[in-house]
């Protein structure tokens, strides 16, 4: 435990120590017509052999207005997520996804125990009571990730020079986007763009709750 703590501290110090030479990667994501896409998970995986530090941060997906908020989360493998219920009604969260199967029986308030997501992959959450409730959790091994904002832009701080493989994922995309290599040199900013073809929006999804 002591050793683990020391290693984490050293890793944190190394991270702080290198931020001066860090490079910011900006990624612009749009659909095939060029419209900016929000809620895209962008991940930069360090090249083989490069260290993959753990920066585990607890995350939260609340339930409010019979919705999961946020709709899309991205966390590093091993992180935990808590699920506070801020509705008056009870929810019953479940996932059948291979990366994390669980079943959080009917509850209200903060009664739900946090869940640890220890396998990389895509986890789709639903509620047994409210069929319209859905959330996506992308669990990734790399600590370098971000979600695109309303302008379709994700910014990832990378710890200095090195090569990375950058990928983009949206819950409504068709197939998989190609992985793009990027090399960070010194503190020069780098930029990439992705176009992700989207499935037509299902009639179901257009329902206003």
Are 177 and 168 in contact, with CB atoms under 8 Å apart? yes
Cβ neighbourhood burial of 27 (10 Å; 0-12, 13-18, 19+): buried
Cβ 132 to Cu ion shortest distance, Å? 9
Question: If binding is defined by CB under 5 A, does position 69 make contact with Cu ion?
Answer: no
- Residues 94-133 touching Cu ion, rule: CB under 5 A, are 127, 129-130
Cβ 91 to Cu ion shortest distance, Å? 3
- Residues 33-52 touching Cu ion, rule: CB under 5 A, are none
Give the nearer residue to Cu ion in terms of CB position, either 119 or 130: 130
Query: In the numeric block, which tokens belong to residue 151?
Result: 């302008």
Return the range that interacts with Cu ion (CB under 5 A); candidates 42-50, 83-91, 156-164, 191-199. 83-91
Of 123, 75, 68, nearest in space to 92 by CA: 68
CA pseudo-torsion sign 119, 26, 157, 60 = negative
The only residue of 75, 91, 112, 177 in contact with Cu ion, by rule CB under 5 A: 91
Cβ 114 to Cu ion shortest distance, Å? 18
- Residues 130-149 touching Cu ion, rule: CB under 5 A, are 130
CA separation for the pair 134, 91 (Å, rounded): 12
Query: In the numeric block, which tokens belong to residue 169?
Result: 């994922």
Give the nearer residue to Cu ion in terms of CB position, either 130 or 163: 130
Query: In the numeric block, which tokens belong to residue 177?
Result: 């986007």
Of 198, 207, 165, nearest in space to 39 by CA: 198
Cβ 125 to Cu ion shortest distance, Å? 10
Return the range that interacts with Cu ion (CB under 5 A); candidates 34-42, 91-99, 104-112, 149-157. 91-99
Count of residues interacting with Cu ion (CB under 5 A): 4
Cβ 135 to Cu ion shortest distance, Å? 11
Cβ 126 to Cu ion shortest distance, Å? 9
Q: Are strands 121-127 and 115-117 parallel, antiparallel or unpaired?
A: unpaired
Are 19 and 157 in contact, with CB atoms under 8 Å apart? yes
Return the range that interacts with Cu ion (CB under 5 A); candidates 8-16, 36-44, 68-76, 85-93. 85-93
| CA Rg value for the chain | 18
In the complex, which residues of this chain contact Cu ion (CB under 5 A)?
91, 127, 129-130
């Amino acid at each position: 435990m002591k050793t683990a703590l020391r290693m984490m501290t050293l890793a944190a110090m190394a991270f702080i120590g290198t931020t001066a030479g860090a490079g910011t990667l900006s990624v612009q994501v749009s659909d095939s017509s060029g419209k900016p896409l929000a809620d895209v998970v962008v991940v930069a995986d360090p090249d083989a052999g490069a260290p993959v530090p753990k920066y585990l941060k607890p995350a939260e997906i609340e339930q409010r207005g019979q919705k999961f908020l946020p709709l899309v989360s991205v966390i590093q493998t091993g992180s935990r997520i808590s699920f506070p219920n801020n509705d008056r009604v009870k929810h019953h969260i479940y996932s059948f996804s291979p990366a994390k199967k669980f079943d959080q029986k009917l509850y209200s308030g903060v009664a739900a125990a946090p869940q640890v997501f220890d396998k990389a992959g895509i986890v789709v959450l639903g509620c047994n009571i409210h069929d319209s409730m859905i959330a996506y959790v992308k669990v990734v091994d790399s600590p370098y990730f971000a979600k695109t904002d309303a302008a379709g832009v994700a910014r990832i701080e990378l710890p200095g020079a090195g090569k990375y493989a950058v990928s983009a994922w949206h819950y409504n995309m068709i197939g998989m986007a190609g992985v793009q290599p990027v090399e960070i040199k010194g503190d020069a900013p780098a930029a990439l763009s992705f176009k992700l073809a989207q499935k037509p929006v299902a009639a179901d999804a257009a329902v206003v709750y």
